[in-house]
Amino acid sequence: MTQINPDPTDRASYWRWVKAVTRFCDTDANGHINNTVFAQFIEVGRVTLITQMSADASIANPWVVARVEIDYLKELNFPAELDVGTRVVAVGNTSYSVISGIFHGSECVARGRTVLVHAEGGRSTPPPAGEKAALLAELSGPPGVDTSGGEG
């Protein structure tokens, strides 16, 4: 497995970004953004990353989410505009991992890690060579280029 270990709470660790906003309906009984909504923010970042990589290579083949981890670091309330950074951090024979950072201004309010597995016929299989090459290129992408326009 080829991997790197950037700090998911540091904006400089990311170069792929997507904007997200909280909605009133995202709040829980305490007025905080509900924990389940953070998984949606991470999903949007991951899907955006895959879409952006598709311009470079066909990443549309059958990748399935095998694991999602989320650490909640700060309370978040409505309304809030967020930046979600996503980065490939590991590429294996049949899987890859991404980290995500959810930032409110310069502050990281949550971090996540997702493992995706290339699967066909219900079994993990190696991806096509072009997809693996795109993932490896993403792994060595330019760290520290914050294109979100957020505070850094």
> What pTM did the predictor assign?
0.88
Model pLDDT for residues 86-129, shown as the tens digit of each residue: 999 999 999 999 999 999 999 999 999 999 999 988 899 998 88
- pLDDT in the model for residue 137: 87
Alpha-carbon separation of residue 58 from 19, 24, 122 (angstroms): 24, 37, 21
pLDDT one-digit tens code per residue, 4-22: 889 999 999 998 999 999 9
* pLDDT number for residue 143: 60
Rg for the chain, CA atoms, rounded: 16
Give me the pLDDT at residue 151, please.
Answer: 47
Residue 48: CB atoms within 10 A of its CB come to: 16
Instruction: List residues bridging with 21 in a β-sheet.
Output: 81
State yes or no: pLDDT of 146 exceeds 60.
Answer: no
Q: What is the pLDDT of residue 152?
A: 42
Closest Cα to residue 105, out of 11, 6, 39?
11
CA 45 centroid distance within chain:
5
Residue 148 pLDDT class (50, 70, 90 cuts): very low
Please give the pLDDT value at position 99: 96
CA 30 – CA 39 distance, rounded (Å): 19
